[in-house]
Structure 1
C-alpha cells in the first residue's frame, strides 16, 4: 500500500478540516505528477472502510483502467472496484465505481448503480460541462470532491457554482525542490527553450485562438519543417511528446518529423483503444521516440517515460498550456531534467509551469498581462518570429520521399498542358500547381 508523502498528507489534512467545518464540495488542486491518484486512493480507502459508497467520474474510458491499476497498487482490492463503462457488466453492489461520464450521461434514467455518498470528479476543470452538471443534478445528495492541476475552466470562468472551497496543494516550484531534497516524490526540474517558428497574430474566440485559423498557420510546410528541425537539434535523444493543433496538422507534422529522422507516430482520440495501448507501449519500449497528439495526452494519461515536450499548438489558455507541460514533469528514475521546446510563444504569454499563480473559484486565471518569470526559460536559436519562416524544405531531409514527390508533381504538371477549357478560378489553381 502506497504511503502518502508529507505534502500529500498535508493536503489530506486540509481536506479533512474543510469537511469538518461544513464544506460539502471541495475542489483539490495538485500539479500534474504530484500524485492525485495516490491521494485519492487514500480518501477512497477511508470512505469504503466507513461503509460508504464512492464514485469516480472521468472523461475518457481509457482512464478507467489506469485508475483501476493505480487504486490496486494503492491497496484497494480489485474486487471492491466496479466500472460503469460501455460494454462492461455493471456490478452494482460494489462499494466503489469508476465511471465514464459519457456512459453515465446516456443512462441518467437508469444508471445501474445507487447514488454514491462521495462523488469524485477527475480533471474537475471540466465540471461545468453539461454532462457533468446533469450527473450532479441526478445525484444531489452526494458529497462532491474535484481533482485538478488547473482549477479554471477552459473559457477562464470560475468553478464556484460547482465547488464551495478550493484546497491548494504545493506549487510546481515546491515539488521540484522536494525532488531535489528527497529520494522519492516531487517533480522533475525542467528547462524551456523558446524558439518561435510562427506568428501569434491569429484570430481569437472564447478566450483562445480559433482552431481553423491556427491550423492553417501551423500547417504551413516551412513552419512544420522548422518544428522538425528544432526536434532534430534539441531532442533527438529524448522521448518526446508533440502537441499539435488538429488531426490534420498532427498527421502532417508527424510526416515532417519522420523525414527529419524521428521514429514518430500520430495518436489521437479517434484511434481504437487497442491501437492506443499498442502505440503507447511502443513509446514506452523505445520502438518509437516521438508521439504526436491532439488533446489525447493533454490530460489524464500517464506517460512518465516522456522527458521532452514540443508545443506546436499556440494557445492563450493556461489550462491547455500547463496540462501539456505537465505530461513531462513526472520524476524519472534517473532524476533527469525535462525539456520543453516552445515553438509558438506560449511561455511569453502564459509563463512557465513554475511561475507563481493565484487560483480562484470565483474566476480561474486564463491569461494575465505580465506573468512572473519561472527562472527556467531561455531563448533558443532562431528568436525572430516571422509569419512564415523562409527555409528550404530539404533542411528536414526528405531523401527518397522528396524524389518520389517531385516525380509525381512532374507527371501532374505534364498532364495539365492538355487542359485548355477551364474557368478562371480553376486556371489560377492550375497555374499555381504548374509553378511548384
Structure 2
C-alpha cells in the first residue's frame, strides 16, 4: 500500500493507492471529508502521521516535506546554558519551548537551531520592531536571501521572518513551505486566532522562545500541544552574576497624601461594598467578567467599576511616587535609567516635570527609534515609558529601572527586570526600584507579580 500525503488549504489530504485500506481511518487526527470524498487531518498532525506511517512500514508518497536542504552556519559561540537549551530541544525531537530570562540570548539559541536543522525556516514575531531586529540578525548570520512578511513587505524566501498577524493571514497558503517554525515570544501563540498559525502549518520542527511560558488564562496548554512542552527552563537567579548582571530589587512604600487617602478610601469602599452585597468573590477571572456584564444594565455595578478605576489611578499615580522618583533620579545621576508606568498620561507628566524623553503607544516608530538610539549612544541617560518597552523592542543597556506602576502580571515584571540585566562592562550591579502605595490594593498587586 502507498499512502499519499499532500497539503491543501491548511489541511493534510491523505489517500492511498487502494480505496479502503484500514490504516487510514485509524491515523491520528484523520477524519473523513464527505465534501471531497477524501480523508483529512489538521496540518500540524503531519509529523505525528509521518512517524506512525513509518512504524507501520507503509510506503509513503510524501509531497509535503521540504526538499531543500540549507547549508547555514552561525558565528555565535553558545554559552553552556545556551548549548544545554539547544540540546534539550534536539533531544525532544526538535519540538518544544525554551524559557530563559530577557537578555539571556534566546535569539542566539534560535540561530544555532536554524543552522543545525538546515531546513527552510519561518520565524514568527509579535511586533514590527522585532521583525526588523530578526531580519538584521538573519541577514548578518546567514548567507542566503531573507524573506519578510509584514511592515509593508510580502517576500517569501527559504528563511523568512514574519509578524504573527501576517503569518495568520497566510498560514493556509504557506503551511507546507517550511520545515522549522520558530515562535519568538511564544506566549502570544496562546491567543485564539494566532493558534491557527501553528494548526495550519506542517512544519515538523517547532521551537518556542519566551521568558515566561505559562499564561494566567491557561492557554499555554494549547501551545504545549501545537509547539511542544517546555523542554528547558533557567531562572534569572541562575544566571545573575555570571551571564547576567547581579541585581537587587528595592521595594519602596509611599504614603498617599491626606487628600489621596480620603478619595481612595471612598472609591475603594464603594467597590468593596458592592462586591460584598453581590456575593462576588473574584476567585477567578469569570467573576470580574460577571461584574462587567452586570454594569451594562445595573447602575450600581457600573458605579462600582468606575470607583475601582478611580482607586486604581489614585494608588498607581500617587504624588509621593513622583517625590521618590526625584530622589532616585538624583541618587543615580551617573546611571542609565528606565522609568516604567502603567498610564500614558503619567508618562507625559513625568516627561514634562523631569525633562525625560517619553515613549508611549502614541510615539511614532521613527521617533521611538531616535529616542532609543540616543539612549544607546549616551545622549540620553534616562527615559520614561508606558508598557511599550516591556517586550518586543530592542532596548539599549540600562542599569536602573523604576517601576512606578504596573499590573500583577509576572510576565510584565520579568520583562521589566530583564531590561537592566545585560552584563555591564564594569561588572556593576543592576537595581530595580518598585514604588508601591502603602495600605492599598497595590500591595497585593506587587505580591502577585512576584
Fold match, TM over 0.5? Answer: yes
1:333 is matched with 425
Work out whether residues 25 and 145 of structure 1, in 8 Å CA contact, stay in contact via their aligned partners in 2.
yes
Work out whether residues 399 and 431 of structure 2, in 8 Å CA contact, stay in contact via their aligned partners in 1.
yes
Query: Mapping of 1:186-197 within 5 angstroms?
Result: 186-197=243-254
State yes or no: 1:88 paired with 2:146. Answer: no
Work out whether residues 149 and 167 of structure 2, in 8 Å CA contact, stay in contact via their aligned partners in 1.
yes
Query: Mapping of 1:11-410 within 5 angstroms?
Result: 11-19=85-93, 25-47=95-117, 49=118, 52-73=119-140, 75-77=141-143, 79-90=144-155, 92=156, 94-107=157-170, 115-153=177-215, 155=216, 157=218, 159-163=220-224, 164-177=228-241, 179=242, 186-197=243-254, 206=285, 213-220=311-318, 222-258=319-355, 264-344=356-436
Quote the Cα distance in structure 1 between the aligned partners of 2:404 and 2:413.
11
Once the two structures are TM-superposed, the CA of residue 147 in structure 1 deviates from its matched residue by 0.5
Work out whether residues 372 and 396 of structure 2, in 8 Å CA contact, stay in contact via their aligned partners in 1.
no
Work out whether residues 211 and 245 of structure 1, in 8 Å CA contact, stay in contact via their aligned partners in 2.
no
Once the two structures are TM-superposed, the CA of residue 270 in structure 1 deviates from its matched residue by 3.0
Quote the Cα distance in structure 1 between the aligned partners of 2:310 and 2:217.
21
Aligned pair in 2 of structure 1 residues 132, 158: CA closer, same or farther (>3 Å)? closer
Quote the Cα distance in structure 2 between the aligned partners of 1:285 and 1:71.
24
Aligned pair in 2 of structure 1 residues 335, 304: CA closer, same or farther (>3 Å)? farther
Aligned pair in 2 of structure 1 residues 338, 348: CA closer, same or farther (>3 Å)? farther
Which secondary structure state, in structure 1, belongs to the residue aligned with residue 194 of structure 2? helix
More strand by share: 2
Larger relative contact order, structure 1 or 2 (CA cutoff 8 Å, min sep 6): 1
1:82-111: CA deviation from partner (whole Å, max 9, x where unpaired): 111131241x2x211111112333445656
Quote the Cα distance in structure 2 between the aligned partners of 1:211 and 1:279.
31
For the aligned residue pairs, the C-alpha RMSD in angstroms reads 3.0
Length, aligned pairs only: 328
Which secondary structure state, in structure 1, belongs to the residue aligned with residue 181 of structure 2? strand
Work out whether residues 246 and 430 of structure 2, in 8 Å CA contact, stay in contact via their aligned partners in 1.
yes
Work out whether residues 29 and 151 of structure 1, in 8 Å CA contact, stay in contact via their aligned partners in 2.
yes
Work out whether residues 182 and 207 of structure 2, in 8 Å CA contact, stay in contact via their aligned partners in 1.
yes
Once the two structures are TM-superposed, the CA of residue 196 in structure 1 deviates from its matched residue by 2.0
1:371-421: CA deviation from partner (whole Å, max 9, x where unpaired): 7xxxxxxxxxxxxxxxxxxxxxxxxxxxxxxxxxxxxxxxxxxxxxxxxxx
Work out whether residues 101 and 131 of structure 1, in 8 Å CA contact, stay in contact via their aligned partners in 2.
no
Work out whether residues 4 and 38 of structure 1, in 8 Å CA contact, stay in contact via their aligned partners in 2.
yes
